[in-house]
Structure 1
Amino acid sequence: MAVAAETLNVKGMMKNRRLSRAIADVGLGGLLLKIDYKLKRHGGNLVKIDRWFASTRTCSDCGAIQQGLTLSDRTWLCAACGSLHDRDENAAENIRRQGILKLKA
């Protein structure tokens, strides 16, 4: 059993006035620690994906990187292959694939 997760810059995200309350409420910093502890107890692995990996901007179909996405862009069209992506679903698929690659290495 394995869980792949991005190592986000929580301290930097807290500087965003619009997001800081939601980020503090979720407790992202402690969440990964708890997940890691539980996985180790049950023989699993937490695979940490680098915060600079472009999970949101990388097309999960062809691998092209979309430049110029803003936080308000919830969907985007890949210029290379024409695939329409939901921002969060695309990022989740890219993180999953990156986690599998790291486990195989």
Structure 2
Amino acid sequence: MPREFSKKDIEIFNKLAPEARGETISREAGHHFPYILRPISHKFAESAEDFRERLERLDPEELDYLVGLALENKEDVRSLDEDLDELLEVVSEKVSPERAKELKDFLGLV
């Protein structure tokens, strides 16, 4: 069963995709997005650079919160494709290299 966005999830989603105007429902599928980063990567960001720019809008606490969700399997980062590299770089720069490594290790990346 997909998780429901908390108030904090919605605030982060809106920061990453202001053009969604607070809407967290997929028009194509007709249900609430189960994750924050996947729709940003797949539906809103036009490129890896755009995805990175969006991530850079977040403060370190918000980024760390997303990493925590990923480590609990509550946020899907495995399907981000090339955007995963951008996420890891931004986490390394804004949170810490150790936190980025923790996520990399969790995902089984070398």
Bigger share in strand: 1
| TM-score of Structure 1 vs Structure 2, range by shorter chain | under 0.3
Q: TM (normalized to structure 2)?
A: 0.23
**TM-score w.r.t. length of structure 1:** 0.24
If asked which structure has higher relative contact order (CA below 8 Å, sep 6+), I would say 1
Larger CA Rg, structure 1 vs 2: 1
